[in-house]
Each structure stands twice: as C-alpha cells, then as structure tokens.
Structure 1
Amino acid sequence: MSPLVIVLIVTVVVLLVLVGVVIGAYNGLVVLRNRVEEAWSDITVQLKRRTDLIPNLVNSVKGYATHEKEVFEKVAEARSAIMNAGSVAETAKAENALEGALKSLFAVSEAYPELKANQNFLQLQQELVDTEDKIQAARRFYNGGVRDLNTKIQTFPTNIIAGMFGFQAKEFFDVEDRASVENPVEVKF
C-alpha cells in the first residue's frame, strides 16, 4: 500500500471517529434536555393540581373562620403568582410565598376544632399533602436532570458540541430561600 492510501485511510477513520463523537455527544445532550423538559412538565402538572385544590380548601376554612380575611387574601395572591409564573425562578419565588400562606391557613384551622374535624377539610388537607409530596419528588427529578445536563454542557468535549448547537445550562428549581428558612412564617390572630 502506498503512503498516500494509508494517510487517506487514517484520515477517513479519524473523521468517522470525530463524527461519531459529535453525534453521540449531541444525542446525549438532546436526551438530557428532553428529560429536564419532561421533569418540568411533571412539576407544572402537580402545581396545577395544587392550585386547583386551594380554592376548595380556602372555602372550607372560610366557612369557620370568616374574619381571617388577610390570610385568605395572601393565599389567593400566592396562588395567582404560581399560575402566572413564567420562569423557574419566578415559580420558585411564588412557591415560597404560597408555602408561607398555606402555613398561615393551616395555623388558622388549628384555632377551630370543628373545622379540624370536618371530613371535607381533612380530605382536602390530605390531598394537598399528597400533592406536596409529588411536587417534592418531581422537583428532585427535575433538579437531577438539570444537574446532569449542566454537567454535560460544562465538561469536555461535550462543552464544544453544546456550544456549537446552542445548548444552554438550565436553572435549578430551589424553592426555599435563606430568608424563609431562617425566619419562619409569623402567624398573628
């Protein structure tokens, strides 16, 4: 075999390997991006389910605690903020507000023993707890997908392919901010 043929074969093999690496990296990035989008979709489904439960829960409490107008307004505002959130950061901020408002709502319910014994209220409360658990699981799945995608985007050689094809790092869905963890919700009656 002539040296020219050997160089041509080596060049073709190297090009095929490079094309294979690019295709593999691109497909891996697409898979991770789709997992993140699927996980975000799961979160939005659970958030929607929760926002649908909240009016019934508020109405149950209103029947017993009609003078707690401020608490009901905060819950309504927080619910509206979740429904209108456009980004992961906005959703996380709205989640913090809703969590605080719901804590206040449940604190109000503690002052009304007949409400705590109401079967409808108890069922709604249990459904809300179940939905919160599902949101937490969906958030962990989403954040795991974001971690994997961001790691792949930032590591060599996929960072080159990610840059070539416009893959962007995703934002984690962190609900708790330092202020809400360090300063718990204050309930006033």
Structure 2
Amino acid sequence: MAKKEDDVRTRLQGAALELSRERGYERTTAAEIVARAGVTERTFFRHFPDKREVLFDGEAMVRAALTASIADAPAGLGPLDTLFGAFRSFQPALEDNWSYAKPRHKVISATPALHEREPAKIAALTDALTAALKARGVADLRAVLAARTGMAAFVHATLSWLNDPTAVWRAYRSRP
C-alpha cells in the first residue's frame, strides 16, 4: 500500500478513535469521522467496509506477520514454542502501537455493539495460525489445539499488557 494510502487509513482510524472517546462509538457517524479526517465518505468506504471495521483494521498485517514468523521458525520446534516465538516477534509492533491500542481497547470494552467483532477477529486469526502450523507438518488436531491455546495466551497477555505494559513482556522474555 502506498504511503499516502497508509496516511489516509491512519487519519481515519485516529478520527474514529477520537470521536468515539469524545462522544461514544454509537453516537459517532461515518460522516463525522471523515469530516475530522479531512476526507470524503467515498474514501472512507474505499478503505473500510463499515464503521466498526475502522477500529479493527490491522488484522491482515497481524496475520501476515505471525504466519510468516511461524513459517520461518526453526525446524523441529514444537507448535507452542513456534507460536510463542511468533508472538514475541510481534511484540515490537504492539509496543509501537500502544498510543492507539490502549484507548481502542477502552472504546471496544465500553461498546456492546463491538463486543462480537473482537471474538470473530480472534477466531479468524486462530484459523490462520492453525493453517500455518499445519503447513509446518503439525497434525490437524494438534495444530488446532496449539493455535487455540497459543491464541488464548496471546490475547490474555495482550489484555494484561494494556493494563500494565511492563509486567507481561517480562514473562514472555523469560520463556526459552
């Protein structure tokens, strides 16, 4: 994606988050988001299929980074160690996104209409991790179990990090 397109997405995300924090997600319209971002509604819908998705953007980047890390993991590494290595490799991206992730989490937590989207995104990511493990030769049931277990740990660690950004990563770093 071109730099200009990244900037537009970032401005739309920032505007959506600011407005959702100021007046609540449900009282924020796509028209207000585009006005704050300085773009047209057509531009908004070229980047995001709906208002909810602007707060959930990034799934494809997370999936690509984690599955690439799984594919590049050393041969002979077990599925959970492979996953935890992938999660650790993604840590810098999470830390770089702290200023957006923390308020985004607060908006999602405070908005029942957004609660169903988060588990759907997690399930899709878990499926991608399962497929990446299977591509490494991990048996079906073992890949599913490892992906679900690893994803549960990653989600828990991420939520804990949002509450205390120092404690969780110390635990990840201490793992072999």
> What TM-score comes out, normalization by structure 1 length?
0.29
Higher relative contact order (CA 8 A, sep 6+): 1
Please tell me whether Structure 1 or Structure 2 has the larger radius of gyration of its CA atoms: 1
> What TM-score comes out, normalization by structure 2 length?
0.30
